[in-house]
Each structure stands twice: as C-alpha cells, then as structure tokens.
Amino acid sequence: MKKAVAVVCLVISFLLMFCGCRMIRIEDEERKPVDYSVLNQQEIPKEVQNLIEEKKEREFQMSFQIGEELYLIRGYGRQMSGGYSIRVEELSESSNGLFFQTRLLGPPDDSLEGEPSYPCIVVRLEYREKPVIFE
C-alpha cells in the first residue's frame, strides 16, 4: 500500500513538474510579429458575421478558419454609447501558439450619449496550426 501511494505521489509530482515547465516555455519563448489585416464590415465573411451577431451582447473572443485564412475575433459586448475603437496591441507567434492582444479605447467623455454599440474587431491572417492565446 505504501509503495502504491509513493508511486502515485511520484507520478503526480512528475506531471506537475512537466506541465509547469511547458507553461514556462510558452511564456519565455521569443515571439515574432505576424502579418494581418483588420477587416471592415464589408470584408467580414457571412459565417463570421453570424457568429458575431449571436455573441455581441457579451464580451467574447474566438478564432474561425475558412480555407487557408484564420480570423481572430474579439468583441467587447454592449457599450452604452458609440465612439469606441479597438487597437491591436500585439499579434505575434512562437513555436507554441499565436498571441492576440487588443485594447478597447473609449469615446471622449462628452460623447457618452446615444445608442448602445457593440465594439468588435476582426483580423485576418494566414492559417497556422497553432493554438490562439487571447490576452
């Protein structure tokens, strides 16, 4: 019985050490910028537009592949007015993944009236078979 407990503890320790080291490698590895295009409303494929419409009320992030193109989508949910913009802070890759970071920029204080808006950004890039990490 003691041997079984010792073996289980050893296996768990090994798994924790292995998983922890793997996470550190993703964070510490050098990232390289990726070429991308920010799409306007007319350029967004219908399939992607439909997904955005379904999710627009709340914050969301997703990736969508069509052929050899990958679409990264980041929505900020319902805002109480218009005038918002979204800036891409980073879109880069390492051997382990794609990293996508955006920032919501608010309107000037004097324009916080009017109809609600649903700020969302869609970027298109060449498909890569890597996980996407939204930051």
CA distances from 88 to 33, 72, 74 (A): 12, 11, 10
Provide the residue ranges of all domains of the chain, joining segments of one domain with +.
Answer: 1-30, 32-134
pLDDT in tens, 39-80: 999 999 999 999 999 999 999 999 999 999 999 999 999 999
C-alpha to C-alpha distance for 22 and 96, rounded to whole angstroms: 10
Residue 6 · residue 93 · CB < 8 Å: no
Across the range 87-113, mean pLDDT stands at 89
**pLDDT at residue 10, as a whole number:** 42
**pLDDT at residue 58, as a whole number:** 97
Q: Output the six-digit token pair for 41.
A: 């409303």
